[in-house]
Amino acid sequence: MDPELGEGAVAFLIGNNDVAATVEASYFVSDEILDLWREEGNPIVRIWEDRFSMDEGYMSLVPEAVNGLIKKTGTKISDFTRAVVYGPDSRRHRDMIGKLKLDPKLVQEPFFGKMGNTGTAFTLQLLTSAMESVKAGDKILLVNYGNGADAMVIKATSSISKASTTRSLGKYLASKRIVGDYVKYASWRNLIPVAEPARRPPDEMPSPANLHRSRDRNFRFYGSKCRHCGTVQYPPTRICASCNTKDELDPYRLSDKPAKLFTYSYDLISRTKDPPVVVSLTDFEGGGRTRIILADGDVQRLQRGMPLEMSFRKSYYYPSEGITNYYWKSTPVRVE
């Protein structure tokens, strides 16, 4: 199934006021079926025989939900401006569009071959893409599948035009990089074991007390800004490096500041699943410079002065303690 699948996540802000879209109506069908499943802790998904899964599951339950919604609300399929429909793969998706008698021109592109089926997140990711092309008053038919099927009417409000599309799904897909080596991908996903480098000193154990004390610095990425001279520093300090004032510095958030690459170095022997490790000196707009690992950067393309942004990453997992460390990295700006 590998060629059909993708990995992804999506998040929505839910509210009562000034929302970009509302859920006007919904209809749910529930059914217990083992068609596609994954045991807890197992990275591999399993499927049952295709014809059973499709005939008894997807092809049967999705129309039931859509017909139920249409009957419940008195709407017609032609009332919808856009349709976002889950599909396990491109062929079944196409079959379903025909079965539901939807105009293919109004159906959100499912990005098979560009993103793949990301499972739980998939349909809602497609919804974000569809929402970029609708205007106030437009109705979207949203259809999801999994142990049953959900059909919803989503209506765009007059606030839809204010919604930002800077970090849209389409732009992310357009800016993607290809991992040319399947072994590398499989090692990143812990699907194949990778030998630890030899002659490493033992890891220092992480301390929950220390992690808690330094949460502003490490998780929120706060530096400090001097009240007297305005100098920004990271890590935060008690004494200003410019005017030597003591304890007159305020917390200052750097995670959201545009940045530039001042300079960098890289090496091929540091422990990483994605060599080389690039260490950057990153300058922040408005002040502040820090030494930080630069991720997702193709060394051949790095240039002094190139725009960077901050990205919160999983930094290291300590299997003996079951603790995962998170920290920030700088990355080349992915989506303008």
Q: Rank residues 143 and 232 by Cβ distance to Zn ion and give the closer one.
A: 232
Q: Rank residues 242 and 324 by Cβ distance to Zn ion and give the closer one.
A: 242
What 3-state DSSP class applies to 158?
helix
Number of Cβ within 10 Å of residue 169's Cβ equals: 20
Q: In this structure, are residues 153 and 24 in contact, taking their beta carbons and an 8 Å threshold? A: yes
Q: Rank residues 111 and 252 by Cβ distance to Zn ion and give the closer one.
A: 252
In whole angstroms, the minimum distance from the beta carbon of 139 to Zn ion comes to 57
In whole angstroms, the minimum distance from the beta carbon of 265 to Zn ion comes to 29
Q: Rank residues 244 and 265 by Cβ distance to Zn ion and give the closer one.
A: 244
Closest by Cα among 155, 151, 181, 160 to 67: 151
- Cα separation, 226 vs 233, in Å, equals 8
In whole angstroms, the minimum distance from the beta carbon of 163 to Zn ion comes to 40
In whole angstroms, the minimum distance from the beta carbon of 245 to Zn ion comes to 5
**Which residue is it, tokens 């959900």?**
150
In whole angstroms, the minimum distance from the beta carbon of 249 to Zn ion comes to 8
Q: Rank residues 39 and 247 by Cβ distance to Zn ion and give the closer one.
A: 247
202 — alpha (psi -120 to 50), left (phi > 0) or beta? beta
Q: Which two tokens stand for residue 203?
A: 């890891």
How would DSSP label each residue in 251-298? Answer: EEE-TTS-EEEEEEEEESSSS-SSSPEEEEEEEETTS-EEEEEE-S--
In whole angstroms, the minimum distance from the beta carbon of 290 to Zn ion comes to 17
Interaction site with Zn ion (CB under 5 A): 226, 228-229, 231, 240, 242-243, 245
Q: Are β-strands 249-253 and 307-318 bridged in parallel, bridged antiparallel, or unpaired?
A: unpaired
In whole angstroms, the minimum distance from the beta carbon of 284 to Zn ion comes to 16
Bridge partner list, 280:
264, 292
Q: Which residues of 98-124 are buried (b: 16+ CB within 10 A; e: fewer)?
A: eebebeeebbbebbbeebbbbbeebbb
Q: Rank residues 64 and 248 by Cβ distance to Zn ion and give the closer one.
A: 248
- Cα separation, 292 vs 259, in Å, equals 12
Q: Rank residues 289 and 313 by Cβ distance to Zn ion and give the closer one.
A: 289
